Chains A and B, each alone.
Chain A
Amino acid sequence: MYPIVLLSVLGIVVLFLGFMKSKSVLLPATLLFLVLALASNFIDWNQGKVLYFYEMLAVNNLTLAFNAIVLVSAFMIVAMTRGFQDQEEAQPAEYYGIMLFSLVGAFMIIGYEHLIMLFVGIEILSVSMYILTGSDKSNLRSNEAALKYFLMGAFATGIMLFGIALLYGATGSFNLTDIQSYVSIQGRGVSYILYAGLLLLLIGMLFKVSAAPFHFWTPDVYDGAPTIFTTFMSTIVKTAGFAAIFRLLSHSFTPIYSFWWITLAAITVLTLLVGNIIAVYQNSFKRMLAYSSISHAGYLLIAVTSLSPQTENAILFYSLAYSIATISAFGVLMLVSKKKALEGQVDESYAAFNGLAAQNPLLAFVLAVSMLSLAGIPLTAGFWGKFFVFGSAVERGLVWMLVVAVLMSAVGIYYYFRAIIAAYLKEGDIGKIRIAPFYRIILVVATAMTILFGLAPGIFEKLL
């Protein structure tokens, strides 16, 4: 609850700081506010389940851990924005303010107890994202991405709302606990309206986390948006979205598991196939990362579908590993493509990394570790993420789904290693890239975390 209140107020403070002549105070202030929010997040730690805002928001250790992942990712991403305040047309105060507000939406959908909270939270998160996607106003690609994201997002919201209305009609309440007690009393005898409502609500939410067949907006939007906001979308929206889906299904709809798991299993397998196979054919690194984010949605869906006691840990660890690796991959891409853009050509393809290792060994190493982690190679956090996810599927006995997932992660190795091969084995004259000290620290810390959690995943469970 505290980070929600704090960031709502501090977001407005950031907007006012934008009136000052000197823009240089904005970045440190935003980072400080994020640290404050992270500190306030842990006031409720180990208090058990606490309800706030007239029982509309629940707080427990799980939601706090998700909040912390979101805040840490946001801190890293904001720290990497150094430099865009120097651009002439950029309005850094507005962007930082909107980023802080969007985090409020993320916290709301992580801990909602009432469907109004879910709806308002998703809207805060998505409307902020529409603005940030279109923030490069004179760039046609950014415009197109913003319009596509907006139309598809609003469409998904409409579907989701109709689903909520039907759920309300069937159960007579928006409260997750009331819905749960209705479903467990009725058992399999619940009315068909409830089934339809649940399906529409799930479709709306799966749209937001870009699961196939509702993924078609993802590559275009991720490709067209400014890279820094693509990073924001692919980590924070995904983490919060999966926390929300998991909360809905595990909290309210476990009694009718036999109804929804088949649908979700089909969507999972389709997401894995589509994400991984189309990613192979991409030439743009940025677009490949968009498809990779679809495929990671598939792995996370395996954990949600199996819904075993391990699931919450698996989702938590997986989203942390995925977020850190994605942030460092996009961080390297931003540096390289900025260097290329200064030389007069925007290049976000694999070829942009050619010869990276020769003069920029640090960047090449960061890129390699993040790719290994995304591919799920042992000794990185991504491996243990996949391990926990697959473990929860085994517990539920979904072995056939596991076979698909393992095959698809083998496919994944191909396209992730293309970036490593480009960086280490291909020839190219990329020149020395200057990295700001703070940027360097963030990249090193992200890489260190990936390796640390890869060597000792137990640390994470001890923290919990």
Chain B
Amino acid sequence: MMQQTPPIPEIIQAIPLQSYLILSTALFVIGIIGVLTRRNAIVIFMSIELMLNAANLLLIAFSSYKSDASGQVFVFFIMAVAAAEVAVGLAIIVMIYRNTRTIDVGFLNKLKW
């Protein structure tokens, strides 16, 4: 016998909305701190992805609490666009690695005022 699983919005709503808000804000702040403190271009990039996913989580939570699909549609757009951004970003990082053999952002000091 298969166990009857409740529909997904109900699972999401089993946790109060406030918890989602706190969790995604925490993820977002961790992402910002990562961007500001890390020196490796790839790790900075991962932190940015964390920020995007914090926004995704928040959109899903709001969308399911409001029973409105448009929030989930937005998440698909974010995922697709983020993939395109990753493609370009990694290409830039590879280009830099070819020329300098490093991806430490501290190395980027040709341009200064």
Contact = CB atoms under 8 A, between A and B. Distances in A.
B112 to A, nearest CB: 8
Contacts of B93: 147
A119 B100 CA distance: 33
A349 to B, nearest CB: 14
Interface in B4-31: 21, 24, 28, 31
A120 B81 contact: yes
A145 B111 CA distance: 8
Contact of A154 (B28, B85, B105): B85
A143 B96 contact: yes
A134 B48 contact: no
Nearest to A122: B81
Interface string B93-111: 1011001100001001011
Contacts, number: 123
Contacts of A157: 48, 52, 85
B88 A168 contact: no
B110 A119 contact: no
Given A119-B77, A148-B108, A161-B52, A166 B70 contact: no
A161 B55 contact: yes
Interface stretch (A216-224, A323-331, A437-445): A216-224
Contacts of B21: 169
B111 A168 contact: no
A284 to B, nearest CB: 9
B81 A158 contact: no
Contact of B110 (A138, A140, A146, A168): A140
Given A119-B78, A158-B31, A143 B95 contact: yes
The interface residues of chain B, by DSSP majority, are classed as helix
B113 A278 contact: yes
A127 interface: yes
Contact of B88 (A130, A158, A219, A278): A130
Contact of B100 (A115, A140, A282): A140
A418 interface: no
Contact of A120 (B28, B45, B51, B77): B77
Given A147-B93, A154-B89, A169-B62, A164 B55 contact: yes
Interface in A159-210: 159, 161-162, 164-166, 168-169, 172-174
Chain B contact patch, size range: 35 or more
A155 interface: yes
A131 B88 contact: yes
A172 B68 contact: yes
Contact of B89 (A140, A144, A150, A161): A150
A219 B70 contact: no
B81 A162 contact: no
Contacts of B59: 165, 168
Nearest to B17: A169
A138 B88 contact: no
A287 interface: yes
A137 interface: yes
A151 interface: yes
A338 interface: no
A162 B58 contact: yes
Contacts of A150: 88-89, 92
A282 B111 CA distance: 13
B74 A116 contact: yes
Nearest to B53: A158
Interface string A115-132: 110011001000100110
A141 interface: yes
Contact of A158 (B41, B52, B110, B112): B52
8 contacts: A140-B110, A141-B110, A147-B92, A157-B85, A162-B51, A165-B58, A220-B112, A281-B113
Given A119-B81, A164-B74, 9 more contacts: A123-B81, A127-B88, A143-B99, A147-B92, A154-B45, A161-B52, A168-B63, A172-B66, A281-B113
Interface of B: 21, 24, 28, 31-32, 35, 41, 44-45, 48, 51-52, 54-55, 58-59, 62-63, 66, 68, 70-71, 73-74, 77-78, 81, 84-85, 88-89, 92-93, 95-96, 99-100, 105, 108, 110-113
Nearest 10 interchain pairs by C-beta: A158-B51, A161-B55, A165-B58, A220-B111, A169-B62, A144-B108, A165-B55, A162-B55, A154-B48, A123-B81
